[in-house]
Chains A and B, each alone.
Chain A
Amino acid sequence: MMRPDGTEEKNEEGNTLVWLTGIALLMQMISIFIYVPTERTEGVIQRIMYFHVPCAWLSFFAFFVVFICSILFLWKKDREWDIYAHASAGIGVVFCSLVLITGPIWARPIWGAWWVWDARLTSTLILWLIYVAYLMLRAQSDSGSMRARYAAVLGIVGFLNIPFIHFSVLWWRTFHPQPKVITNEGIGKGMDPSMLATLGLSLFAFTLLYFLLMGERVRQEKLKDEIDHLKRKNFYSS
């Protein structure tokens, strides 16, 4: 039954997103392990790409949301944008951590080393450190409005690292492979169509997962706000 605050409708939307994400992730797994052919030079280990790249995409997208919401927060001074930025930063850090874990696992058998200090890997590590600092700033500082403002500035500055990460493999000689999806020859010309389809499906599934996680994180921040508000209201009225 529909409630006046629209809760029932939101729950139904949430359930649809859960199902869509679940189906997309299941199809992605089937595609990775059954449908897509094994790459000729790297062999079976190349299938890590279908997790590694979507994790990178999700973290970059999450940090882009932090960037946009931080600008909007500084401009409009609306707490809502701060909530979205904070929620998205947490998700971005989780998936950037997964990029930094899956990358070395892929690199070890191919490069013979877990880690090399090349431009792509180092700049990704710096990105991760910046947003970990962002979350630490939010957790440590206790002044609400100032904390949000400092965090917004850090969220904006941190994002400026992402174009650098993207172009690092083109500007310098790196161990990390060059882009395969968007190349000089066109979009998707550097890959087999089945590999491209699997990667596309993985990116789609992880994007849905982002929105699902974002819904939960935003709800968490709003619940914290409501509890704080009630506690403060009670403190001042007593």
Chain B
Amino acid sequence: MDNLGFLFAANVFVWCGIIYYVYTLKQRNRALEKDLDLLKETLSKEG
């Protein structure tokens, strides 16, 4: 059980890495969707 700290560290790195990546992906997609909607709205107003 000596190396439990190493196992914990590896586990934390993997899960934090995955969660951070999924979070940034979702955030970026949401921002792009907003930009697209705004752009469509502006273009439709301009005719």
Give per-residue flags for B1-12: 1 if the beta carbon is below 8 A from chain A beta carbons, else 0: 111101101110
A227-B39, A234-B43 in contact; A51/B6 too (CB < 8 A)?
no
Q: Which residue of A lies closest to B11 (CB)?
A: A51
Give per-residue flags for A208-232: 1 if the beta carbon is below 8 A from chain B beta carbons, else 0: 0100010011011001101100110
A98-B13, A98-B17, A102-B13 in contact; A220/B6 too (CB < 8 A)?
no
Cα-based distance from A68 to B1 in the complex (angstroms): 44
Chain A residue numbers with a CB within 8 Å of B6 are 45, 48, 105-106, 108-109
Asked whether A174 is an interface residue with its Cβ less than 8 Å from the other chain, the reply is no
| Number of interface residues, chain B, beta carbon within 8 A | 27
Cα-based distance from A198 to B13 in the complex (angstroms): 20
Chain B residue numbers with a CB within 8 Å of A106 are 6, 10
| Number of interface residues, chain A, beta carbon within 8 A | 30
Chain A residue numbers with a CB within 8 Å of B7 are 44-45, 47-48
* Residues of chain B from 18 to 40 with CB closer than 8 A to chain A in the complex: 18, 21-22, 25-26, 28-29, 32-33, 35-36, 39-40
Asked whether A182 is an interface residue with its Cβ less than 8 Å from the other chain, the reply is no
> Smallest distance from the beta carbon of A106 to chain B beta carbons, Å?
7
A220-B32, A227-B36 in contact; A51/B10 too (CB < 8 A)?
yes
A94-B17, A105-B6, A105-B10 in contact; A230/B39 too (CB < 8 A)?
yes
Asked whether A144 is an interface residue with its Cβ less than 8 Å from the other chain, the reply is no
Asked whether A101 is an interface residue with its Cβ less than 8 Å from the other chain, the reply is yes
Cα-based distance from A102 to B39 in the complex (angstroms): 43
> Smallest distance from the beta carbon of B26 to chain A beta carbons, Å?
7
Q: Which residue of A lies closest to B3 (CB)?
A: A45
> Smallest distance from the beta carbon of A96 to chain B beta carbons, Å?
11
Would you call the interface of chain A mostly helix, strand, loop, or mixed?
A: helix
> Smallest distance from the beta carbon of A125 to chain B beta carbons, Å?
17
**Contact between chains at B3 and A220 (CB < 8 Å):** no
Q: Which residue of A lies closest to B43 (CB)?
A: A234
* Selected contact of A102 from candidates B14, B28, B32, B33, CB within 8 Å: B14
**Contact between chains at B22 and A213 (CB < 8 Å):** yes
8 nearest A-B pairs in the assembled complex, by CB-CB distance: A45-B3, A223-B32, A105-B10, A102-B10, A216-B25, A109-B3, A48-B10, A51-B14
27 A-B pairs (CB sep. < 8 Å) = A43-B2, A43-B3, A44-B1, A45-B3, A45-B7, A47-B7, A51-B10, A51-B11, A94-B21, A97-B17, A98-B13, A98-B17, A98-B18, A101-B17, A105-B6, A105-B9, A105-B10, A109-B3, A213-B21, A213-B22, A216-B26, A219-B29, A220-B28, A220-B32, A227-B32, A227-B35, A234-B43
